[in-house]
């Protein structure tokens, strides 16, 4: 369907090459599936409430907040996924260090 629309536009005006049409192709959505089906929403816990090196809560001991629960918005294309994984990794490292410290104390 997408390819046929690009081909249709290209055939209507062949003044530019096909690569130009591919790079400049714009879709105009006519509707959405609503908020309940949204892939990206805004809001979350203020980033100032977590330690940025471990994502541990500044207010509550042993509480970690990672990924999309935080008020961080990234561009589409994997940036939000990368942040979710990276913040989870840093939180896991901090938890591991705390557990390791308790084991070493015994």
pLDDT digits (tens, 9 = 90+) for 86-101: 999 999 999 999 998 8
Q: Which residues pair with 64 in a beta bridge?
A: 56
Angle at 87 between CA 85 and CA 93, to 5 degrees: 100
Q: Which of 68, 76, 63, 75 is nearest to 45 (CA)?
A: 68
- Residue ranges per structural domain of the chain: 1-30, 40-105
The dihedral region occupied by 26, where left means phi > 0, alpha psi between -120 and 50, and beta the remainder, is beta
pLDDT digits (tens, 9 = 90+) for 52-106: 999 999 999 999 999 989 998 777 777 888 999 999 999 999 999 999 887 777 6
Phi, psi at residue 83, to the nearest 5°?
-60, -40
pLDDT digits (tens, 9 = 90+) for 15-31: 888 888 788 888 788 88
Contact of 83 with 47, CB cutoff 8 Å: no
Residue, of 7 and 40, whose pLDDT is higher: 7
Closest CA to 64 of 93, 86, 91, 100: 91
C-alpha pair distances (Å), 71 with each of 43, 68, 81 = 5, 7, 14
């Amino acid at each position: 369907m997408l390819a046929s629309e690009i081909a249709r536009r290209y055939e209507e005006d062949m003044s530019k090459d096909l690569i130009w049409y591919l790079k400049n192709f714009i879709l105009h959505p006519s509707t959405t599936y609503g908020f309940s089906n949204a892939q990206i929403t805004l809001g979350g816990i203020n980033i100032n409430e977590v330690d940025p090196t471990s994502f541990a809560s500044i207010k509550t001991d042993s509480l970690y907040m990672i990924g999309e629960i935080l008020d961080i918005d990234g561009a589409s294309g994997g940036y939000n996924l990368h942040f979710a994984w990276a913040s989870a990794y840093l939180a896991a490292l901090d938890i591991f260090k705390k557990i390791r410290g308790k084991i070493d104390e015994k």
